[in-house]
Amino acid sequence: MAQDYIAQHDGGYWIADTRVSLDSVVYAFLEGLSPESIVDSFETLTLEQVYGALTYYLGHRADIDTYLRQSEAAFDALCRQAREAHPLLYGKLDEAHRQRTAEPPHESPLPS
């Protein structure tokens, strides 16, 4: 009997019977992680589930890649909306980030 490794619900794709998104496994795979490394990163997944998820992805690559691009676009839109709704907060965050990245690295007091 064949096993379904992917479930589609709540507008997304999930590893069946888990709370791990297919997105997470696919992005790890695309970053070059091996199935074994992905299992190490997601302790709730078995190696079989990871291979099943990757097989699903590779068999439906065009559809999943489209879904991932749409998800990224939706996330970017939410980020823009948040910035527009809370300009003072994001202004402070941007300034803190600028100050932090502009600081020279601290030298160690220990001799080298």
Work out the pLDDT band at 1, boundaries 50, 70, 90: very low
Give the CA dihedral 63, 66, 72, 76, nearest 10 degrees.
Answer: -140
pLDDT at 4 over 50: yes
Architecture of domain 6-100: Orthogonal Bundle (1.10)
Work out the pLDDT band at 101, boundaries 50, 70, 90: confident
pLDDT value, residue 107: 66
Dump pLDDT digits (tens) for 7-63: 999 999 999 999 999 999 999 999 999 999 999 999 999 999 999 999 999 999 999
Average pLDDT over residues 72-89: 93
C-alpha atoms less than 13 angstroms from C-alpha of 29 in its C-beta half-sphere = 18
Report how far Cα 104 is from the mean position of its chain's Cα atoms: 31
Length of the chain: 112
Q: Domain map of the chain by residue range?
A: 6-100
Q: Which residue has the tokens 């527009």?
A: 84
